[in-house]
Amino acid sequence: MNAALSEDQLRVTSIPYTSANMVIFSGVPLRKNSYKTNSGKYYITIKAHPDAIPVQPTIGQHWSVKGTRLIEEMDTGDYVMQQHTYESPDQVECSLPETGEQLIRFIAKENKFKGIGESKARALWELLGKDFHSILINDTPESRKRLISVLSEESIKALFEGYAKYKNLAFCNWMSENKIPASVQQRLLKHHGEKSIDEIKANPYLLIGFGMSFEDVDLVAINRDLIFKVDEKDDRRLSAALEIAIRKEIDKGHTYTAQADLRPRLTKLLKDKELVSNAFQAGHDRAQYLLNPDTGNYHPTAQLLMENVVAKRLKTLANQCDLYDENANSAYCSAVKELPYELTKKQTEAITTCLDNAVSCITGGAGTGKTTVLRTALRSYHQMGFEIHAVALSGRAAMRLHESIGFVTSTIAKLLKNTPVEASTGKQKHLLVIDEASMIDLPTMYRLVNHIHPSVRIIFAGDPDQLPPIGCGKVLADIVLAETIANTTLDIVKRQEGTTGIPEYSKLINSGVVPEQLTTGSIYFHETDKKDIAEVCCELYQQSPENSRVMAPTKALVADINKFTQQAVNPNGKLLEFEMHGESYFQNLRLNDVILFTQNHYDKGIQNGSLGILTSVEFTSENYGEVTLDTGEKVEVTQSVLDCMELGYAITLHKAQGSQFPRIIIALKKGRIVDRAWLYTAITRAESEIHIIGSEYDLKNITEMPSNTHKRNSYLADLLL
């Protein structure tokens, strides 16, 4: 065994392993006599992080590698062969073959060039010769016409689509050499294309916006000042540091911040008080923020713009009031006649308020009758000739909304993908209904108001006391706080015999009052030691698997509960198998497991938080199996889908927001994110039965302590005044 600093060139012949953290690929040396071994034979293996290489390796590609080489002798049976392994090499580049035989072999082997075997590849070389790369780099009608004599239309399409991967190879190699991760490269190229390198040279700190950390860009920019001409006092660097500091505050949910909150983070990045002061000036000069002279608060330009646009639209609609006329009254009376019971005074007020105002809110906790009010208001609007656009943030919430109101519903994402809602000749009057509106963050609301015509009326429905949105802002809470938008807050009617008691229980928790009886009605409290919470959740899940979902505060606890539950309810299910580069791998997902999706794939009908059952693990050339979503839709398990699949017996509360389940099991474990709002939101996810697992001491502390969840800086309420 020997280690040395070396370099090699290879042609890729196998890719034994690919994952999110490691790529291993091997090949034969391109220059036969580049390194003489005892047997005269050796092969090269590269082990690297996917972000450290310019493109994903493919059989037939040419690569050069430089770094520490580990040489091992491998006994193949007939002879001893050497393996030269480069692990995390200093430099690794992919290059396109230039000569005839190498290029022919590359085209024939690269699976991106579908339908082009060796004979067609050879015909291409004979036709194009050294013009091969210059022809394929530009996909034009003229280029395609030149190829028609040797390739079919389908093969020509495959050739250009396959070559697109290599179009920016020189740029990628340059960026890899400068330690810019591959994931960042792809985002940059998508945005800036062939100008990417020029843009980096003009301002390397733009890389932060494409996913690099400030510290990593510093290493690229300052240590390579001959290329970038950047020093530590450069305004580009200082404004980038400020951008990072502001972004961290936005990530916490704030839409503005104070210098006192920004300064410590800037000090950590810049490590110099003078540079920190200069950073604020650089940010001001570049219009990264506006300073509020009255409060001293720093408002990031983008967030302030969004807040102003949203506030302007809502205020304009709010001025359109006193709309309840004879037509509205007739529609209201007709809709009420269809109800099997009489409305309460508050419910009547809520419906008439919706009909009287161009923008309004229906707020209240679980069991207050929001659904009844919404359904009646929408039927009234429908009778008045309005087209109803009912949306919710999650797929489950949209499905539940449809079941509740009877109108066609969709996710907000789907609405935003469709054509904008305009007042047309056919349909002059439109109403946008946003259910579970507490989940709507500022950027989403901004996109919505830009997607709909100013004449479109809006109804918000939700519970502002639930967890705020994941993104910045707290739109519904701000609307309610401002009191300039017509809002009716529904309250719980007297408890009736035979009801679950969940609305009353949740109201007490939300008010900071510990219920006298922790177990009451359909709510069951299980005193449990912290170390046993996961197992108890698993035991309770087994009592009614088809109706249950476990809510837990942390990913670690979710993982523990999922592990126990899978072992308990589905220990012998057939494992999901997938194949990669001719080798079989198994995922710890079994046939009939409950599945949670952790990323958006709108084209496949999947959202972050979608749930389903793994109903097939049959491996085909196209996919690895099938998941049946709880909406009834079926999703094929491809590689991209597989990457965002997890067990879903237990989920975090954020994944459950906007959804309800018949039976909820709450893993109550005190922690940073678990407060009164968290517990209240978890309880309101249940339709008919709740099990709380934890200690009475923790429940009491969580309930009585003031909630920190809603303490985020937001300027929308001020703008609505």
pLDDT in tens, 359-396: 999 999 888 889 899 999 999 999 999 999 999 988 77
Which of 232, 269, 228 is CA-nearest to residue 247? Answer: 269
Strand stretches in 530-672, DSSP E: 548-552, 575-580, 583-590, 594-597, 611-616, 626-629, 634-636, 645-647, 650-652, 661-667
Give the mean model confidence (pLDDT) for residues 26-45.
66
Which of 425, 413, 396, 419 is CA-nearest to residue 549? Answer: 396
Residue 514, Cβ density class (10 Å: 0-12 exposed, 13-18 middle, ≥19 buried): middle
**Residue written as token pair 């505060």:** 553
Amino acid 205: pLDDT: 92
Report how far apart, in Å, the C-alpha atoms of 312 and of each of 308, 441, 492, 555, 573 are. Answer: 6, 17, 33, 39, 55
- For residue 194, is pLDDT > 60? yes
∠ CA(321), CA(324), CA(329), 5° rounding? 165
Q: Give the tokens for residue 184.
A: 């960042």
Give the mean model confidence (pLDDT) for residues 626-648.
89
- For residue 144, is pLDDT > 90? no
Amino acid 224: pLDDT: 59
- For residue 198, is pLDDT > 50? yes
Give the mean model confidence (pLDDT) for residues 694-721.
92
Q: What pLDDT, in 10s, does the model give residues 319-341?
A: 999 999 999 999 999 999 988 88
How sure is the predictor about 225, in pLDDT bands with cuts at 50, 70 and 90? low
| Residue 622 CB neighbours (<10 A) | 8
**Of 28-37, 184-193, 434-443, which gets the smallest average pLDDT?**
28-37
The answer to whether 472 touches 250, Cβ cutoff 8 Å, is yes
Q: What strand order describes the sheet that includes 289-291?
A: 257-258, 297-300, 289-291
Q: What pLDDT, in 10s, does the model give residues 267-292?
A: 999 999 999 999 999 998 888 899 99
Give the mean model confidence (pLDDT) for residues 213-217.
90
Report which of residues 152 and 532 the model is more confident about: 532
Q: What pLDDT, in 10s, does the model give residues 401-411?
A: 888 888 999 88
Amino acid 40: pLDDT: 52
The answer to whether 355 touches 323, Cβ cutoff 8 Å, is yes
Which of 380, 387, 407, 363 is CA-nearest to residue 325? Answer: 380
Amino acid 37: pLDDT: 40
How sure is the predictor about 2, in pLDDT bands with cuts at 50, 70 and 90? very low
φ, ψ (nearest 5 deg) of residue 575:
-70, 145
The answer to whether 237 touches 292, Cβ cutoff 8 Å, is no
Q: Looking at the DSSP assignment, which residues form a beta bridge with residue 29?
A: 10
Q: Give the tokens for residue 96.
A: 């396109």
Report which of residues 453 and 101 the model is more confident about: 453
How sure is the predictor about 470, in pLDDT bands with cuts at 50, 70 and 90? confident
How sure is the predictor about 497, in pLDDT bands with cuts at 50, 70 and 90? low
Q: What pLDDT, in 10s, does the model give residues 573-600?
A: 999 887 654 556 677 899 999 999 988 7
Give the mean model confidence (pLDDT) for residues 188-216.
89
The answer to whether 352 touches 345, Cβ cutoff 8 Å, is no
Give the mean model confidence (pLDDT) for residues 468-484.
94
Give the mean model confidence (pLDDT) for residues 21-26.
89
- For residue 494, is pLDDT > 60? no
Q: How far apart are CA 203 and CA 390, in angstroms?
A: 44
Amino acid 297: pLDDT: 93
> Any residues with CB less than 8 A from the CB of 628 and at least 6 apart, and which?
612, 613, 615, 634, 635
Q: What percent of the chain has pLDDT over 90?
A: 52
Q: What percent of the chain has pLDDT over 70?
A: 94
∠ CA(18), CA(643), CA(244), 5° rounding? 95
Residue 144, Cβ density class (10 Å: 0-12 exposed, 13-18 middle, ≥19 buried): middle
Amino acid 77: pLDDT: 65
Q: Which residues of 572-601 are buried (b: 16+ CB within 10 A; e: fewer)?
A: eeeebebeeeeeeeebebbbebbbbbeeeb
What string of H, E and C letters represents the secondary structure of 598-635? CCCEHHHCECCCCEEEEEECCCCCCCCCEEEECCCCEE
φ, ψ (nearest 5 deg) of residue 419:
-65, 145
- For residue 414, is pLDDT > 60? yes
Give the mean model confidence (pLDDT) for residues 50-76.
84
Amino acid 39: pLDDT: 46
| Residue 194 CB neighbours (<10 A) | 11
Amino acid 300: pLDDT: 94
The answer to whether 127 touches 149, Cβ cutoff 8 Å, is yes
Q: How far apart are CA 336 and CA 341, in angstroms?
A: 9
Q: What pLDDT, in 10s, does the model give residues 505-525?
A: 999 999 999 999 999 999 999
- For residue 298, is pLDDT > 90? yes
Query: Helix and strand tally (H, E) in the chain?
Result: 29, 27
Q: Looking at the DSSP assignment, which residues form a beta bridge with residue 20?
A: none
The answer to whether 398 touches 391, Cβ cutoff 8 Å, is yes
Amino acid 36: pLDDT: 40
Q: Looking at the DSSP assignment, which residues form a beta bridge with residue 82?
A: 42, 73
Give the mean model confidence (pLDDT) for residues 75-90.
81
- For residue 455, is pLDDT > 90? yes
**Of 113-122, 203-212, 472-481, 659-668, which gets the smallest average pLDDT?**
113-122
Q: What is the mean pLDDT of the chain?
A: 88
